[in-house]
């Protein structure tokens, strides 16, 4: 969706806006301002891109947002730190001078990365007194709190309304679970995975409260999500039915 002019050349970027473009021999290039954009969804693979059946498509339909006014910027594996860099670049370059609303949906990749490096088989409960990675986990939560707070504050200083979204629960019984070893999670493994989800969701809720951002709290939809495996594409990604649950929660959270 990003479009850059480099003299007579145009470089089309798959992600939202590529801010670092190598214009060798072309004299440099600069980002194109997009004054038509009023809404921006910044996230990971759950947000996806405009051509995918992720929650932004249903959200736009529900709220009657024109496609040209809605920037969908979801990148698989995007971390909270990378999200700050993206937002900071957009603000610094004044890409969206008329933006009204930022939908912020990040943190999942940081959580999954932590577990994948330390306990990919989900053999240890986060709440176990003998859990060996307590300090590392607390350090990650502290870093995420700082980075999310900086991101939301930067957006608000630019005059944008911010709505944060947290994460759906992880189900047991799905055959496809690439985030946690690739195998089907049994009930104990799913419960351990959801201990991490619960901690992340609480952190997101606390940052929203501290920064006075709005919150689309998917903890309120936990029962609905887990009622049917057809809400999931894999254990950490909703399919189109799950995306509709997310979109409905966001719509309710935006209501006056």
Percent residues over pLDDT 70 in the chain: 88
Q: How far is CA 190 from CA 2, 38, 116, 158, in A?
A: 38, 38, 14, 40
Mean pLDDT of 123-144: 97
CATH 3.40.50.1110 spans which residues of the chain? Answer: 34-254
Three-state DSSP class for residue 25: coil
Give me the residues paired with residue 43 across strands.
Answer: 74, 105
pLDDT confidence of residue 29? 62
| CATH number of the 34-254 domain | 3.40.50.1110
Crossing angle of helices 187-211 and 134-157, in 10° steps, is: 40
Q: How confident is the model at residue 234 (pLDDT cuts 50, 70, 90)?
A: very high
pTM of whole model > 0.85? yes
Place of tokens 């050349």: 9
Whole-number Å distance between alpha carbons of 75 and 209 = 26
Which helix or strand (DSSP H or E) is residue 2 part of? strand 2-6
Q: Tell me the backbone φ, ψ of residue 86, rounded to 5 degrees.
A: -65, -50
Q: With a cut of 90, say whether residue 31 has pLDDT above it.
A: no
Tokens of 242: 């799950």
């Amino acid at each position: 969706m990003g479009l850059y002019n480099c003299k007579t050349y145009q470089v089309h970027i798959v992600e939202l806006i590529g801010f670092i473009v190598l214009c060798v021999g072309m004299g440099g290039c600069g980002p194109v301002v997009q004054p038509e954009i009023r809404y921006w969804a910044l996230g990971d693979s759950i947000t996806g891109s405009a051509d995918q059946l992720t929650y932004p498509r249903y959200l736009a339909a529900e709220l009657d947002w024109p496609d040209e006014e809605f920037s969908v910027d979801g990148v698989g594996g995007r971390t909270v730190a990378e999200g700050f860099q993206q937002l900071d670049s957009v603000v610094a370059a004044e890409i969206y001078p008329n933006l009204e609303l930022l939908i912020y949906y990040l943190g999942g990749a940081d959580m999954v990365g932590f577990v994948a490096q330390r306990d990919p088989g989900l053999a240890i409960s986060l709440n176990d007194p003998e859990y060996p990675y307590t300090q590392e986990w607390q350090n990650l939560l502290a870093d995420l709190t700082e980075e999310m707070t900086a991101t939301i504050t930067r957006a608000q200083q630019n005059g944008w309304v911010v709505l944060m979204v947290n994460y759906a629960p992880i189900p047991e019984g799905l055959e496809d679970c690439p985030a946690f070893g690739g195998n089907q999670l049994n009930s104990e493994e799913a419960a351990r995975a959801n201990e991490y989800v619960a901690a992340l969701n609480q952190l997101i809720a606390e940052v929203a409260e501290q920064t006075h951002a709005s919150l689309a709290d998917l903890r309120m939809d936990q029962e609905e999500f887990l009622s049917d495996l057809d809400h999931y594409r894999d254990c950490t990604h909703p399919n189109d039915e799950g995306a509709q649950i997310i979109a409905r929660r966001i719509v309710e959270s935006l209501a006056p």
